[in-house]
Amino acid sequence: MTHHPHVHMIVPGGGIAPGGKRWISSRPAFLLPVRVLGRLFRRLFLTQLLALYDARRLSFFGAMAPLAERRTFLRHLSPARKKHWVVYAKPPFAGPEAVLAYLSRYTHRVAISNRRLLAFGDAGVTMRYKDYRRDGADRQRVMTLSSDEFIRRFLLHVLPREPESGH
């Protein structure tokens, strides 16, 4: 079984008019045909990823450390450029409350629950995780990370602080 990573995005059905005074809704049908959207998203995603790389905004650790070399990074991205990206589009949520409920599941959950933490000591942090490449009982796995690596990964899930408002 091949593991396919998924990226979820919420795209509004319209936009704010210049001047910011009113909302302009898109047509009842989707904004773009799904096949066109897949190619467009692939190009934009990979272009922005490369821009982040060139601006030295990406860090590579462990087995991914060789990607710090640009030619290796480009070679690693090559298969993604050739793949057909599938975009699944569905109709809008049932109002703003449903959008907030959906988003809150991602923005208001803990990065790791206490029940998944098994041990902490000189060897690092031992925790339980799910390996989605496996099926059944094999999916539940255990790993031990150095304390530094555990903290680094944990901090990836911490949302940035909101900018101070001028009021």
Split at pLDDT 50, 70, 90, the class of 134 is confident
86-89, long-range: CB < 8 A, 24+ apart: 86/38, 87/34, 87/37, 87/38, 87/41, 88/34, 89/30, 89/34, 89/37
pTM across the whole model: 0.46
| Surface-to-core class of residue 166, CB atoms within 10 Å of its CB (0-12 exposed, 13-18 middle, 19+ buried) | exposed
Mean pLDDT (whole number) for 127-152: 89
pLDDT in tens, 2-40: 444 555 566 667 778 888 888 887 766 655 677 788 888
Q: Residue 117: pLDDT above 90? A: yes
**Which of residues 59 and 102 earns the better pLDDT score?**
59
Phi, psi values for residue 54, rounded to 5°:
-65, -30
Q: What value does the mean pLDDT of the chain take?
A: 81
Interatomic CA distance for residues 26 and 84, integer angstroms: 26
**Which of residues 134 and 117 earns the better pLDDT score?**
117
Mean pLDDT (whole number) for 117-136: 90
Q: Residue 101: pLDDT above 90? A: no
| Surface-to-core class of residue 106, CB atoms within 10 Å of its CB (0-12 exposed, 13-18 middle, 19+ buried) | exposed
Interatomic CA distance for residues 116 and 143, integer angstroms: 11
